[in-house]
């Protein structure tokens, strides 16, 4: 895992006092797994079961300079605050059971984070972030779980496209595709990633696959 940001260092110091259950998600979790795209240092996304009672519990646990919000901060909120936790009521028992503990904090698993990124990423940077996670965590990922959760939907096809892109741009089989191709259903009414974006999406990641090839 990659070095944590100042905001995570602050949370690590208070880890035992944080209301459970929760999962660190979003860009901070992504950077821990891929070490590529730096998150906004002072904002941490946290998934909890419910905002009812949950927000008050986090406000009680995190004193100033922390600000606890239930939605993405506005530019003015982000500018004025020195530390922000953004709570989202998205935690399920299944995901919590798959949590990864790091420095006393509970993080979303790399596989569940990858699924979220596959579902939500619509920009070239977002697609590159998925590729970065797959490259960095390729030997640690539970591919069976990832395929079970994505293979029968358009997410599986998107995953296969990104894996194929990585291998093409790397000039070798960096990520195995044979098992993916046999388990991922054919796409249905999905707009594929345009081939013309391939180099633009993956160029920033060249250092990662060159390191993997060293």
Burial class from Cβ neighbours inside 10 Å (0-12, 13-18, 19+) for residue 177 reads: middle
Residue 115: name the closest of 159, 72, 179, 176 by CA: 159
pLDDT band, residue 99 (cuts 50/70/90)? very high
pLDDT of residue 24: 97
Q: Strand runs (DSSP E) across 43-174, as ranges?
A: 43-48, 66-69, 83-89, 100-102, 105-107
* pLDDT of 87 above 50: yes
Contacts of 53 (CB under 8 A, 6+ apart): none
Q: What is the pLDDT of residues 18-69, one digit of tens each?
A: 999 999 999 999 999 998 888 989 999 999 999 999 999 999 999 888 999 9
Q: Taking 90 as the threshold, does the pLDDT of residue 90 lie above it?
A: yes
Residue 181 Cα distances to 83, 176, 178, angstroms: 43, 10, 5
Confidence tier at 146 by pLDDT (50, 70, 90): very high
* pLDDT reading at 140 higher than 50: yes
Predicted local confidence at residue 142, as pLDDT:
93
* 195: pLDDT strictly greater than 50: no
Burial class (CB within 10 angstroms; exposed 0-12, middle 13-18, buried 19+) of 151: middle
**Dist CA 116 CA 129 (whole Å):** 12
Predicted confidence (pLDDT) per residue in 115-133, tens digit: 999 999 878 788 888 988 9
Helix axis angle for 110-120 and 26-34, nearest 10°, is 120
């Amino acid at each position: 895992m990659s070095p944590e940001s100042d905001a995570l260092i602050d949370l690590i110091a208070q880890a035992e006092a944080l209301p459970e259950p929760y999962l660190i998600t979003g860009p901070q979790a992504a950077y821990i797994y891929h070490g590529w795209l730096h998150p906004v240092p002072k904002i941490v996304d946290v998934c909890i079961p419910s905002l009812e009672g949950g927000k008050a519990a986090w406000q009680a646990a995190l004193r100033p300079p922390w600000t606890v919000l239930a939605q993405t901060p506005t530019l003015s909120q982000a500018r004025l605050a020195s530390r922000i936790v953004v709570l989202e009521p998205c935690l399920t028992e299944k995901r919590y059971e798959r949590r990864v503990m790091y420095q006393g904090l509970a993080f979303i698993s790399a596989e569940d984070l990858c699924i979220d990124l596959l579902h939500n990423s619509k920009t070239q940077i977002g697609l590159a972030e998925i590729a970065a996670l797959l490259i960095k965590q390729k030997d640690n990922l539970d591919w069976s779980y990832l395929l079970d959760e994505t293979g029968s939907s358009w997410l599986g096809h998107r995953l296969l496209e990104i894996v194929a892109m990585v291998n093409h741009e790397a000039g070798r089989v960096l990520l195995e595709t044979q098992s993916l191709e046999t388990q991922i259903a054919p796409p249905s009414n999905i707009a594929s990633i345009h081939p013309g974006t391939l180099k633009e999406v993956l160029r920033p990641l060249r250092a990662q696959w060159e390191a993997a090839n060293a």
